[in-house]
Structure 1
């Protein structure tokens, strides 16, 4: 892995070459949504049987969802070299801004926005019970920082790959400790719902700890056997089709679980999207502004803003399903997060690329590798 080293002057490329999946990401999400809804309505028995498959007795963690998330996230975790975290001290401002946004601003601002919108502004169209569910889902979504698609967003904005990897690595470590207590605290405080903490712990183990441990062990074993260059240049690219397929199947499954809610409450889908959109742009703007104020290089500032805005939606959906059920309003709120994620993040990428002149034209480390899909 590249280290966080000396900043070098270099001209930043503006013409990004994306693969077929990355270029039409919004189209694939739309097709998965349609396919999932059709499947949910045409084969309700199959979908119900999949809903009832749990990862461990009484864990409420959906087994098919867990397997798909392992297939998506484990290859990304295989890229993480936690030894690089020690090198971030050479330029800590970017990481500190990212952590401040993700763990101090983001979940609490989302809780406030969701509470204001669903409890008051949208109270004409939403019942108190539905408001509780939507608030819970929005909080779960905001408390899970993105871990995989960040590499795509970083690539699109010419972000530094080494520093982005450090930011993601540290977030993953913090998520192991803070995700469950933050969700439990904010959901209980902003709604009348009680969060079973044991189920949250199951979700953290199933959707964070297991893929993280698998990724680290696989990385160490293959590097010892074949060397780092073979591992990064030959083995990792072979996982790309698996992660893409797992992502698409996950999206189909997510929308199949929520088919009745999506078709039965189209107005609610629109209403849920409003505070989520506001929160995304708020956090992206705040992170980007702080990076500019601290004179952080553009190659760190752009992905930092994107990390602060995007979400680990697979974890959020799986956790909402585990806590409140696949047909719950909380699960629907996290699914709306999936709907807005791609187009919104592409718009943030566009703004970053148009404002790169606000920062010194410098970048960290070596050349940018190809983008990584989930």
Structure 2
């Protein structure tokens, strides 16, 4: 498949860090396994100081992972929500009805015998996009302003609804369906508290950073100077968390290597179905290519940073739920890069009229 000359080279437009994100994650996994083998008392060291149930170093890593992402959100665009109700309604349906329900179904269908990983994937399905979706949307020539609005809406909505939806999909709905959840013990309040801490705090910090930065230095300085400086911190926080997680889970991971592949399968199916659903709904509703592309990528993307933070905060850093969250970005990045190329091909067809006669 070749792209038209005027279409962007996707990989070249990604930053060096983003371009090789799957490689950095794999390196962090290997470093964690090595670290765990040479420092057998690592868990005791990390647990010396805790915030709630999470060790202080890991909590700091999780907060650093979330803050740069939320500092990038254009909160002033929330007022534009009412300008395109069609896009907003479709986005809310895809993100907060179809997405969690689809991941719930895939997790139970593909991981019926692995309750911890299944729970981790359901948490991933509840963590809607607020991070790299902006990158995928720009590379695919989507509507940047619409993406900013949807990201802002998802950021606020997650603080309000994540705990409620977690209780519904992890406790209430399985009970209605007669599914056995006795092997996974949790409290919905623990989920809500983790969201408040690991999303609410960096959300408030991100909002205040943007407001203070733009007021004192201007938007051009904030987005052109400040954000590029703090942007890599999110990746460093993610990689630090992965190193620690794999250091503490080394024995489990090396003894069950096929588990990672089993976690990846429902994720692949999820990305494909969500992106295709967003594209088809946008096309059927008469949206432009730009708005349709934004709808598709905001539906397919997930906030793995929040999913990992919630899984660690509720179930612990050595839990299968946390491991399932870590596998997410390893799969998401190459899949969504591929979907960017698909979008650009569809863009060419979208704007090309059929020959007459």
2:115 counterpart residue number: 132
Partner deviation per Cα, 1:76-131 (whole Å, 9 max, x = no partner): 32232323122133223333222211110111111122112222xxxxxx4xxxx3
Q: Does 1:143 align with 2:126?
A: yes
1:281 paired residue among 261, 267, 272 = 272
1:171 counterpart residue number: 154
The answer to whether the 8 Å contact 1:61/1:202 transfers is no
The answer to whether the 8 Å contact 2:70/2:203 transfers is yes
The answer to whether the 8 Å contact 2:128/2:303 transfers is yes
Distance 1:53 1:288 in 2: 47
Q: Does 1:41 align with 2:24?
A: no
Q: How does 1:91-110 map to 2 (within 5 A)?
A: 91-110=84-103
1:326, distance to aligned residue in structure 2 (A)? 2.2
Q: How does 1:113-132 map to 2 (within 5 A)?
A: 113-119=106-112, 126=113, 131-132=114-115
1:135, distance to aligned residue in structure 2 (A)? 2.0
The answer to whether the 8 Å contact 1:51/1:326 transfers is no
Distance 1:73 1:304 in 2: 23
1:141, distance to aligned residue in structure 2 (A)? 0.9
1:281, distance to aligned residue in structure 2 (A)? 1.1
Distance 1:53 1:278 in 2: 40
1:71, distance to aligned residue in structure 2 (A)? 2.3
1:203 paired residue among 194, 198, 206 = 194
Distance 1:272 1:234 in 2: 38
The answer to whether the 8 Å contact 1:66/1:206 transfers is no
Distance 1:289 1:41 in 2: 48
243 and 194 in structure 1: CA distance in 2 versus 1, 3 angstrom threshold: closer
1:134, distance to aligned residue in structure 2 (A)? 2.2
Distance 2:332 2:340 in 1: 12
1:170, distance to aligned residue in structure 2 (A)? 0.2
Distance 1:154 1:305 in 2: 9
The alignment of Structure 1 onto Structure 2 pairs a total of residues equal to 338
147 and 356 in structure 1: CA distance in 2 versus 1, 3 angstrom threshold: same
48 and 144 in structure 1: CA distance in 2 versus 1, 3 angstrom threshold: farther
* Structure 2 unaligned residues grouped into runs of 5+: 175-180, 353-357
Distance 1:71 1:12 in 2: 37
* Structure 1 unaligned residues grouped into runs of 5+: 1-10, 120-125, 362-374
1:12, distance to aligned residue in structure 2 (A)? 6.7
